Amino acid sequence: MVYISPKTPMNQREHLDNMLRMRVVDKLDNYLELPLLVGKKKSLPFNDNLNRFSCRINRWSKRLLLYGGREVFIKSILQALSTYALSVFLAPRGTIEEMQSKVRRIWWACKNKDRGWAMLAWNKICYPKGMGGLGFKDFHLFNIALLGR
């Protein structure tokens, strides 16, 4: 499969099709729930991630979880959801802030309220357990580390 711009003349398309013996397409679909081409809107690959984040949070928010349960939920579900997308694309700052905001809101939420009172700076909570933190991932640093491998 070869992607060719829609503005390419038809005779050139047919020539490439015959020469390469591959199917010529105008539009590429998603692969593993991510678009193959990203245009000017860089947050597009992460829209599905944010929707899945919200769905998982809505499913689990009705359950009363203590801090241990919230920690497991954040680490095993929320932070794992976006690993593939973060390993392929550099996430825009707004997307990362929105993901971190949703994780913080889950962590500090009170019983009946959506928001809670933050008792410790979030960057200190993201420290490893050996350094006094909880080992949560900072999405920006995690994104850069995944892109570097």
Q: For residues 42 and 25, state if they share a domain.
A: no
Where are the strands (E) in the chain, listed by range?
A: 2-3, 24-25, 30-31, 34-35
Q: For residues 22 and 54, state if they share a domain.
A: no
Give 88: exposed, middle or buried? Use CB within 10 Å, 0-12, 13-18, 19+.
middle
Q: What is the pLDDT of residue 144?
A: 93
Q: What is the pLDDT of residue 145?
A: 93
Amino acid at position 73, single letter: F
Task: Judge contact between 37 and 45, C-beta under 8 A.
Answer: no
Q: Provide the number of structural domains found in the chain.
A: 2
Q: What is the pLDDT of residue 113?
A: 61
Q: For residues 76 and 92, state if they share a domain.
A: yes
| Dihedral-angle region of residue 136 (phi above 0 means left; psi in -120 to 50 means alpha; beta otherwise) | beta
Query: One digit per residue, pLDDT tens: the chain, 149 residues?
Result: 666 777 888 888 788 778 877 766 666 666 566 666 566 666 666 777 788 878 887 777 666 777 788 888 888 887 887 888 888 878 889 889 988 888 888 777 766 566 667 777 888 888 888 998 888 888 899 999 999 87
13: containing domain: 1-31
Q: For residues 76 and 104, state if they share a domain.
A: yes
Q: For residues 25 and 69, state if they share a domain.
A: no
Q: For residues 49 and 108, state if they share a domain.
A: yes
Q: For residues 80 and 114, state if they share a domain.
A: yes
Q: For residues 68 and 123, state if they share a domain.
A: yes
Q: What is the pLDDT of residue 30?
A: 62
Global confidence as pTM: 0.67
Q: For residues 12 and 69, state if they share a domain.
A: no
Q: For residues 54 and 27, state if they share a domain.
A: no
Q: CB count, 10 Å around CB of 3?
A: 11
Q: For residues 141 and 72, state if they share a domain.
A: yes
| Beta-bridge partner residues of 84 | none
What is the C-alpha separation between 74 and 109, in angstroms, rounded? 13
